[in-house]
Amino acid sequence: MASSEQPRAQWLGRWGFLLAATGSAVGLGNVWKFPYMTGEYGGGAFVLVYLICILAVGVPVMMAEIAFGRRGQGSPVDAFRRMATGSGRSPAWSVLGWMSMLAGFMILSFYVVVAGWSFSYLWKTLSGGLSGGSVDELAAVFEANNANPWNLGFWSTLVTLVTMVIVGKGVQEGIEKSVRWMMPGLVLMLVVLIGFGALSGGFGEAFAFLFSFNTGSLSSAGMLAALGHAFFTLSLAAGAILTYGSYLPKTASIGRTTLGVALADTLVALMAGLAIFPVIFANGMDPAGGPGLIFMSLPVAFQAMPLGSLFGALFFIMLSMAALTSSISMVEATVSWLCDNKGFTRRSAAWSTGIVLWLISTAAMLSFNVGADWTLAGKTFFDWLDYLTSRWLMPLGGLGTIFVAGFLLNKNVMRDELGLGPRFYALWLLMARYVSPLGILVIFADVLGLYSVVFAQHWPYLLGVLLLMILVGERLSPRLRQALAPR
Ligand code: PHE
C-alpha cells in the first residue's frame, strides 16, 4: 500500500483546474485532427455524430473521471483501485487505470511527431521558407519536411524534450499561466483566419460542408472515428483528466467545470474547421487530403493575406503551445504513478518516461520516411498508435469507467462527489448507466458487423432498447451488484 502522508498538490487559483483541463483538451486534436477527419469522412454527418458523442458520451464520462481523480487522490491506477475497494469491489478494476496510462503514453508517442510539424512550420514561417510558393509547391514542402528522418526527428525530439522539462518542473504553475494567454490567442488567430476565408471565397461551401448534416449516411468506420475522436479531443480515458482531477479542490463544481471544458473544446474545433475548409475549397484542394491537411492548406491562406507571415508565425506559436499543454497532460498519469508508488522524484520520473517515449516516438516518426513501407494491414506504426488508442483503448476504457461509476460503487459515492442537485444527478445517472454505454455499444456492434443483425438498421429500435435497458437495469442492478460482489 502506498502511504500518502503528504497532502497532494492542488491547483493554485479558482480557475486552475478549468484552465489546465482546457489546456489538455484543446490541442492538435481540435486544429489538426478534427478537420482532416471531417474531410476524410465526408463532412456534416461526421460532425453531427461527433457532437452527439461529445454530449451523450464525453460529458458524462468526463464527470466520472474527474470525480474518480478527486476522490481516489492518485494516479489512475491507484484511483481506480481505491474507488473499487472503497465500495467492496475487486482491486482488479485498477486495470482500467493501467489501460488509460498506456493510452496516454501511446498517444504521446505519435502526438510529438505532429507537434514537431507545428514547431517546424513555425520555424519555416519565421525563416521565410513558406513564402512565394504555389499550392503544389507548398504541398511539396510538407512532403520534403517529412522525407528526411534527421529533420523530422530533430523536431519531434525537441518536443519530447520540452514536454519533459515542463513536466519535471511540476505542471501546476506553468500550465495555469500559459493557458491563460495562449487560449485567447489561439481563438483570435482562428477568428482572423475565418475572417480571411469569409472575404476571399470558399466560405459558403465550407459552411455547407461542415453543417449540412444530411450528407449521405456515415460509414461504420466513420461512426467509430467520431466516437473515438470525442474521447481523444476531451482527453478522456487517457489518464490526463483523471490525474488533473486529483489536484482539484473539494469545493469546485465538477458539472460546471466539465461543461466549460467541453464547450471551449468544441468551439475551437468548429472554428478550426471554419478556418481551414474555405482555403481548401477556394483553392480546389482535396478535403480528404489526410494528416497533412492543415499544413498544406493554411500556408496558402497566410501567403495570400496582408501581414500573412506575422499571422502565420503567431498561429504556429499558438498551435505549438496548445500542443504542449496537451502533451504534458498525457504523461502526468505515468509520472504521478512513478512518484507515488516507485519513489521517483518528479524530475527522475519525467526523464525516465521521456527516454522510453523518445524511442517509441522515433519509430513513429520513421513512418513518414524510411519506415513508410513497414506496414501491417496497410497501416504504418504511426497509424497503428492512433488507431488502437482512439478507436479501441479509449472507448473501451470509457465504457469501463462509466460502468464502475454507474453500477458498481456504493450508492452515495458518486452523488456526494459530483455534488449535483437531485435532478441533475438523476440525469447524470441515466446518461452514465444507459445512454452513454448504449451509444458506445451500438457503434462497436456496427463496426463488428453486428449492428444490422441486432437493430435491423432502424434507429427507432434504439429507443426501445434504451427503455428495455433501463427497465432491466433498474430491476437487476441490486442483483448485478451481488453477482459481481467479492466473496
Ligand atoms: N485532447 C488533446 C487534443 O485534442 C489530446 C489528448 C488526448 C490529450 C489524450 C490528453 C490525453 O489535442
**Residue 38, pLDDT score:** 95
Please give the residue that has the higher pLDDT: either 92 or 460. 92
> pLDDT tens digits, residue range 47-87?
999 999 999 999 999 999 999 999 999 899 999 999 999 99
Q: Tell me the CA–centroid distance for residue 326 and ligand 1, in Å.
A: 5
pLDDT of 480 strictly over 70:
no
pLDDT of 215 strictly over 90:
no
Match 500518502 to its residue by C-alpha cell: 4
Collect contacts of 480-483 with beta carbons under 8 A, ≥24 apart. 480/407, 481/407, 481/408
Distances (CA, A) of 211 to 38, 208, 214, 249: 11, 5, 9, 39
Q: Which atom number of ligand 1 is nearest to the Cα of residue 234? A: 1
Top mutation candidate among 24, 33, 53 for ligand 1, by most atoms within 8 Å of CB: 24
In the chain, the number of structural domains is 1
Quickly count: other Cβ atoms within 10 Å of residue 363's Cβ: 17
Q: Tell me the CA–centroid distance for residue 397 and ligand 1, in Å.
A: 15
pLDDT of 30 strictly over 90:
yes
Top mutation candidate among 107, 114, 117 for ligand 1, by most atoms within 8 Å of CB: 107
**Residue 243, pLDDT score:** 92
**Residue 2, pLDDT score:** 42
Q: Which atom number of ligand 1 is nearest to the Cα of residue 394? A: 9
- Do 394 and 229 contact (CB within 8 A), yes or no? no
Q: Tell me the CA–centroid distance for residue 2 and ligand 1, in Å.
A: 29
% of the chain exceeding 70 in pLDDT: 92
Q: Tell me the CA–centroid distance for residue 63 and ligand 1, in Å.
A: 16
**Residue 274, pLDDT score:** 95
> Which range is most confident: 142-156, 306-320, 435-449?
142-156
In CATH, what number is assigned to the domain containing residue 23? 1.20.1740.10
> pLDDT tens digits, residue range 92-130?
999 999 999 999 999 999 999 999 999 999 999 999 878
pLDDT of 1 strictly over 60:
no
The mean per-residue pLDDT over the stretch 269-278 comes to: 94
401: confidence class by pLDDT, cuts 50, 70, 90: very high
pLDDT of 459 strictly over 70:
no
Q: Tell me the CA–centroid distance for residue 360 and ligand 1, in Å.
A: 18
pLDDT of 404 strictly over 90:
yes
What's the gap between Cα 425 and its chain centre? 25
Q: Which atom number of ligand 1 is nearest to the Cα of residue 32? A: 12
**Residue 181, pLDDT score:** 77
| CB crowding 166-205: b at 16 or more within 10 Å, else e | bbbeebbebbbebbeebbebbbebbebbbebbeeeebbee
Please name the residue whose Cα sits nearest to atom 7 of ligand 1: 235
The mean per-residue pLDDT over the stretch 351-365 comes to: 96
Top mutation candidate among 53, 232, 270 for ligand 1, by most atoms within 8 Å of CB: 232
> pLDDT tens digits, residue range 146-193?
999 999 999 999 999 999 988 888 766 666 777 777 788 889 989 999
**Residue 133, pLDDT score:** 79
Global pTM? 0.92
Q: Nearest 5°: CA angle at 350, between 344 and 355?
A: 115
**Residue 89, pLDDT score:** 92
The grid cell for 75 is: 494516479
Please name the residue whose Cα sits nearest to atom 11 of ligand 1: 235
Top mutation candidate among 235, 266, 336, 385 for ligand 1, by most atoms within 8 Å of CB: 235
pLDDT of 4 strictly over 50:
no
Average pLDDT of every residue of the chain: 88
Q: Tell me the CA–centroid distance for residue 106 and ligand 1, in Å.
A: 12
DSSP code, position 237: T
Instruction: Report the pocket of ligand 1 as residue ranges, CB < 6 Å.
Output: 24-25, 27-30, 104, 107, 232-233, 235, 238, 240, 326, 329-330
**Residue 76, pLDDT score:** 95
% of the chain exceeding 90 in pLDDT: 59
**Residue 3, pLDDT score:** 42
| Domain of residue 55, residue span | 2-484
Q: Is 376 helix (H, G, I), strand (E, B) or coil?
A: strand
Please name the residue whose Cα sits nearest to atom 9 of ligand 1: 235
Pick from 167-171, 238-242, 427-431: least confident: 167-171
Q: Tell me the CA–centroid distance for residue 345 and ligand 1, in Å.
A: 25
**Residue 42, pLDDT score:** 86
- Do 128 and 300 contact (CB within 8 A), yes or no? no
Q: Tell me the CA–centroid distance for residue 27 and ligand 1, in Å.
A: 6
